[in-house]
Amino acid sequence: MSTRQKGFKRITLGLVAVGLSLALLLAAAIPVCEAGPEKRVIKVGHHVGLTGPLASTYVHVTYGVNDFARYTNEHGGINGVELKVIWYDVGKTLDAGTISAHKRFKEAGVVFEIMSLSTATEMLAPRWQKDEIPALFVVGYTPAMITQPIRWVFTFCSGHGPMAVTFMKWAKDNWTEERPPKIGFMIYDHSSAWDELNGAREWAPKLGLGFEFVGYEVVPFAGTLDTSTEWLRLAAKNPDWIYVGACGSTLVTLSKDAARLGIQEKGIKICNCGYGVDEIVLKPMGESAEGWYAVRLHPSATDQEVPGVRLAHEMIKRYRGLDEACSHYIAACGISSTIIEAIRLAMEKVGYENLNGRAVRDAMMTIKDFTPFGEVFPPVTITENRPYVCPYFRMYQVREGRIWRVSDWLESAFHFPELG
């Protein structure tokens, strides 16, 4: 090493020593401050479908849940505590991805989970029960979601089967011919749709609805390119009604094929399930959806007399820059308000420090005559025997590209006996 390099090294070491000395002196001169209070946050986990075959349906559910959390926090949170929604996209991986999502949510300390897939909800029900984390599926019950002896899975409505049978009861009540009406089912290969079919075949006769069941057809859950054969086979049996249990991209294909084949022109009426037709899906469906009916759990964007619909329009314009909130966005706000009410009740009983999934589950069972966000559905009462937000449906019809209400609230035609 040269003399010059040795000099630079001595200078550098000297500067480091001076710096350390100054740092120690300054540290001694500055009083030690205690750490500020940790920010109080309540976490909810959301299994979302931002990608994959159901994205057209569930993107706006995600928007609604997240935006309502933001709206809640802007208005004081939950008794002054911030609500944080943690989401995980399971759209492409579907059921498999929800297992990883649940593990992440459990590790993060969520007190509630929101689910968007029926088969995944059935699969995770035992895990939620074991881990004592309540969950809510954003559509309806299937028997496999029911945990015993107490409920850990909640749903929006009474079930997929009850939804289809409630439509059938409405159709029978409005039937004018002497002969019994004939019905066929067009479903995609998914747990929710199978439950609609099985519920109708089992319960419609028990309730004396007097339908003649002519048969059913099944199309793929995803990647469906053509359904002409299924439509033609079912139409050849001369049904008066065809109930379509499908949503997302498969629903678009079904509607396009039905229009091309002139199914409605044959005198056949079509009704879609409550989670299918909404304002977002109507865009790709276009004129092919004209005249379709839908049995629905929540208001349409056209229900301007409902305060929550108007408020949802204001929220999505403010938070997303969109002109109008779709039906699934509105429903997500209503569902979120119910979950938040359960968290609020739990926190009032056990305190923030003791808040956990068990406390929130128990609080859900104490909700009685709760008015949801902007009265978007009737007052909510939840019990072990009726562990869902809304036991009612209404009928709508697509006319001139909009979804219009054509009935008042219809009470669920039946409730699963497994619930007691």
112 and 141 in a single domain? The answer is yes
User: What domain range includes position 83?
Assistant: 41-158+304-392
Q: What is the pLDDT confidence band of residue 275, given thresholds at 50, 70 and 90?
A: confident
Asked if residue 325 is part of any domain, the answer here is: yes
Asked if residue 369 is part of any domain, the answer here is: yes
Q: Are 295 and 243 in contact (CB under 8 A)?
A: no
Average pLDDT of the segment spanning 238-245: 98
Asked if residue 2 is part of any domain, the answer here is: no
267 and 283 in a single domain? The answer is yes
Percent of the chain with pLDDT over 90: 79
257 and 401 in a single domain? The answer is yes
280 and 202 in a single domain? The answer is yes
What CATH number is given to the structural domain containing 353? Answer: 3.40.50.2300
Q: Which pLDDT does position 222 carry in this prediction?
A: 84
138 and 232 in a single domain? The answer is no
Asked if residue 4 is part of any domain, the answer here is: no
- The predicted-structure confidence for 280-322, as pLDDT tens digits, reads as follows 999 999 999 999 999 999 999 999 999 999 999 999 999 999 9
> For the chain, what is the domain count?
2
Asked if residue 107 is part of any domain, the answer here is: yes
Asked if residue 11 is part of any domain, the answer here is: no
382 and 401 in a single domain? The answer is no
388 and 317 in a single domain? The answer is yes
Asked if residue 206 is part of any domain, the answer here is: yes
137 and 210 in a single domain? The answer is no
358 and 257 in a single domain? The answer is no
- The predicted-structure confidence for 51-87, as pLDDT tens digits, reads as follows 877 777 789 999 999 999 999 999 999 999 999 999 9
175 and 283 in a single domain? The answer is yes
Tell me: pLDDT of 1 over 70. Answer: no
Residue 417 pairs in a beta bridge with none
Q: Are 122 and 191 in contact (CB under 8 A)?
A: yes
Average pLDDT value over all residues in the chain? 89
208 and 277 in a single domain? The answer is yes
314 and 387 in a single domain? The answer is yes
Asked if residue 334 is part of any domain, the answer here is: yes
- The predicted-structure confidence for 9-46, as pLDDT tens digits, reads as follows 343 334 333 343 333 333 333 333 333 457 899 999 99
Percent of the chain with pLDDT over 70: 90
- The predicted-structure confidence for 181-193, as pLDDT tens digits, reads as follows 999 999 999 889 9
